[in-house]
Amino acid sequence: MSGRQLPLAKAELRAQVIKSLAHAARVQMVDALARGEMCVCDLRDLVGLDISTVSKHLALLKAAGIVRVEKRGLNQFYRLNCSCLSAFFECVDSVTAGNARHYREATRP
Amino acid sequence: MSGRQLPLAKAELRAQVIKSLAHAARVQMVDALARGEMCVCDLRDLVGLDISTVSKHLALLKAAGIVRVEKRGLNQFYRLNCSCLSAFFECVDSVTAGNARHYREATRP
DNA sequence: GAGCTTGTTGGTTATTTGGTAAAATATAAG
DNA sequence: CTTATATTTTACCAAATAACCAACAAGCTC
């Protein structure tokens, strides 16, 4: 029993979620949201982009199911919708760490 | 000590790795490679794209540090370069599962 | 070496993404 | 009800991505 191949439909679902995290600003925002909810203007200060751009990034994360939002007064407070992201980033960081090690070995033999 | 914000440079490194996985064909290929090495033509059969397209996808995964390659005879054999991807996809799947649940609840109250 | 097979690279085209500015919406404050 | 603040939406442009095909390179096999 070698396990069958991943169907395209499921791969596309996965890809959509992964895509939503495949941008430095969104990575920064998600990282910050891991420490608690934030409003859009706080996130704009964090990443230093136009607030309309930040709003679009957040809409993307929301559509992917990464964050949820709650309105209180004038502000929209965004928070993480899933608790597994630290494991996710741990894997990503282990890859970048491997790359850095490989790079060192290649350039300083 | 609340932890400072993730620096942009580190967020960009993370984003590059995540981006390399943010495509259905690459997700399928990585999933298959988790079961052992494969040559490019096998992967082409798997995803059903032109072999030049597959080659470019693999070059991307290699640049990101996800896979490594070894040439034997006429074939290039690709294999995973990191062992953490199952945890990575587990998180992704938990998000898609949450989305599906949320969708069901919204449409069939 | 001629010819086949496997894979990569370069060119072209179409689609998607990421950014801003301007207009629209929503709620609060006066 | 008018104004101010926070966010989203729309319109638009530039850059990046993904697909295919054609041409090339590398390594068999004869």
Determine the pLDDT at residue A99. Answer: 84
> Whole-angstrom Cα distance, residue B44 to residue B77?
13
The CB density around residue A20, as the number of other CB atoms within 10 Å, is 22
Confidence of residue B5 (pLDDT cuts 50, 70, 90): confident
Instruction: Average the pLDDT over B62-89 and give the result.
Output: 96
B68 touches strand D (CB under 7 A): no
- Classify the C-alpha dihedral B91-B93-B94-B95 as positive or negative: positive
Output the pLDDT for position B2.
53
pLDDT of res. B1: 55
Q: pLDDT tens, A35-64?
A: 999 999 999 999 999 999 999 999 999 999
Q: Which whole-number Å values give the CA distances from B95 to A9, A13, A14, A15, A16, in the listed order?
A: 15, 10, 9, 12, 11
Q: Crossing angle, helix B51-63 and helix B40-47, to 10 degrees? A: 110
Select from A20, A99, A101, A104 the residue whose CB has the most chain B CBs within 10 Å, as the one to mutate to test that interface: A99
pLDDT of residue B100: 84
**pLDDT for the residue A106:** 76
Rounded to an integer, what distance in angstroms lies between the CA atom of residue A98 and that of residue B74? Answer: 28
Q: With CB atoms and an 8 Å threshold, state whether B96 touches A23.
A: no
AA identity, residue A28: Q
**Domain ranges, ordered by start, for chain A:** 8-82
Give the per-residue pLDDT at A82.
Answer: 92
Interfacial B residues in 40-99 facing A (CB < 8 Å): 46, 64-66, 81-82, 84-85, 87-96, 98-99
List pLDDT tens digits, range B12-50. Answer: 999 999 999 999 999 999 999 999 999 999 999 999 999
Mutation target among B2, B6, B93 for the A interface, most CBs of A within 10 A: B6
CATH code for B8-82? Answer: 1.10.10.10
Among partner residues A15, A65, A89, which is closest to B95 by beta-carbon distance?
Answer: A65
Instruction: Catalogue the long-range contacts made by B55-64 (C-beta closer than 8 Å, 24 or more residues apart).
Output: B57/B23, B57/B25, B57/B26, B57/B29, B58/B29, B60/B20, B60/B26, B61/B20, B61/B21, B61/B26, B61/B29, B61/B30, B63/B20, B64/A95, B64/A99, B64/B16, B64/B17, B64/B19, B64/B20, B64/B21
Q: Is the CB of A73 under 7 A from strand C?
A: yes
Q: Which nucleotide is nearest to A16 (CA to C1')?
A: C16
Chain B residues within 8 A of A98 when measuring between CB atoms: 65, 81-82
Predicted confidence band of residue A2 (pLDDT cuts 50, 70, 90): low
